Amino acid sequence: MKPSASIRPAGNFLRTAARTFVLGMSLFATSGFAAEAMPGMARAARPELGSSAVFAPDGNLLVAAKQGEHVVIYRSADEGKTWSALSVVNAQPEAISADGENRPKIAVAADGGLLVSWTHPFPKPNTGSVRFARASDGINFSQPLTVHQDTAIITHRFESMLTLPDNRVILAWIDKRDLELAKVAKTAYRGAAIYAALSTDGGRSFQPEYKLADYSCECCRVTSAIDRDGAPVFMWRHVYAPNERDHAMTRLNPDGTAENVQRATFDRWKVDGCPHHGPSLVVDDKGVRHAVWFNQKDGEGRVFYGRLASGAEIKLTGQRTVGGPRAAHADMATAGDQLLIAWKEFDGERTQLRAMLSGDGGNSFTDFALATTEGASDQPRVIRRKDKLFTFWRTEKEGFRLFPTP
């Protein structure tokens, strides 16, 4: 299947104060992807390809990506066939994380403002702050702000951004302030915590952050969705005593506080370390929650799909494997009766981009191939425009590509 779009991101000639500049050749910084406390999970330096994509209300495709010490926005009015000049999010340069689990995020507020978040890493390993900027006109961004008031040189990373129809914006991230307090008190503490900050004005300002849950995994992405009644829902990899790395979920009240924390997956993977492999969660038009995640079950690491029925305890139904034994980093989205899951899978020589489509609420799927690459690649993103679903994939050799659902 041929993609409908392909582009190589712009080069390293970015002017610090410029708002737009011309597309050119691709040149990226490199970074190591350390897996915290995970034996055998050290990763070699590779291109920082972590990007996010969204369709704006006017149909334009928008991509947030890193160029040097800037987050930039690519725009296409024709599904990526051609691209306009870039917008610079942060005029002042700063370090930016851009790996697959901790990439820049992009969203559109209910009032039409363009929102971008990212992690600013500190020189100390595995530390950083969550940064945010808004462009009311979609082009000219406000001065970035740090969404949390805590200024300690610790982990504030792996943020998830959720926009709501009433113009609220919620960012949730992995935070280690409670772990640091436990170290001082010499008490036990598993993993990290999930913190959040709420904006009631479309991202123009944020209220003080607050804790959603203790004992999250240290470096797997957080995911979010809007539940059938409009409540925000967040899901993350959790550390259940003594060391089971399954997933947890919480719904938020109107004031942003968590209702309760419920266990969402039950594979009981026992491992003393973080696998750098977060989940994806969507709620379809009928109010059914769908999730994909990576866990080890019965001694085999696999990507799984399942439906998460709400109640006093979450009931997991329809669990099934996704792809082959090397499937990884799945993402998903829903539109109408369609549910699309996309993932990467290494065949020993090349990385394949594959997908599976359901038209009956996840009861059955059709599996198909989308593309391959011989170089490094980002995680795929499944995005929606009205009633159509697309898979967005960035690779080192081919650049940005957009695949419509067949």
DSSP designation for 238: B
Amino acid at residue number 62? L
What pLDDT is recorded for position 29? 28
Nearest to 281 by CA among 325, 237, 328: 237
Q: How far apart are CA 332 and CA 10, in angstroms?
A: 28
Domains, the chain: 5-27+51-404 (2.120.10.10)
Higher-pLDDT residue of 18, 169? 169
Peptide bond into 242 cis (omega under 30): yes
Nearest to 101 by CA among 219, 247, 6, 260: 219
Q: Which distant-in-sequence residues (6+ apart) come within 8 Å of 58 by Cβ?
A: none
pLDDT tens per residue, range 63-94: 999 999 999 999 999 998 888 889 999 999 99
Res. 265 pLDDT band, cuts 50 70 90: very high
Mean pLDDT of the chain: 89
The number of beta carbons lying within 10 Å of the beta carbon of residue 346 is: 13
Q: How far apart are CA 376 and CA 49, in angstroms?
A: 8
What pLDDT is recorded for position 6? 52
- 353, 380 in Cβ contact below 8 A? yes
pLDDT at 30 over 80: no
What pLDDT is recorded for position 45? 62
Amino acid at residue number 267? D
Res. 100 pLDDT band, cuts 50 70 90: confident
If you write DSSP's letter for every residue of 34-82 in order, what string do you get? --TT-TT-----EE----EEEE-TTS-EEEEEEETTEEEEEEESSTTSS
**Cα angle at 316 between 314 and 320, to 5 degrees?**
160
Nearest 10 degrees: Cα torsion 12, 67, 96, 375: -100
Q: Which three-class secondary structure state does DSSP give residue 178?
A: helix
The terminus-to-terminus CA distance of the chain in angstroms comes to: 9
Higher-pLDDT residue of 280, 35? 280
Strands 114-121 and 5-7: unpaired
Q: Which distant-in-sequence residues (6+ apart) come within 8 Å of 105 by Cβ?
A: 52, 64, 116, 117, 118, 159, 160, 161
Res. 274 pLDDT band, cuts 50 70 90: confident
φ, ψ of residue 183 in degrees (nearest 5): -65, -45
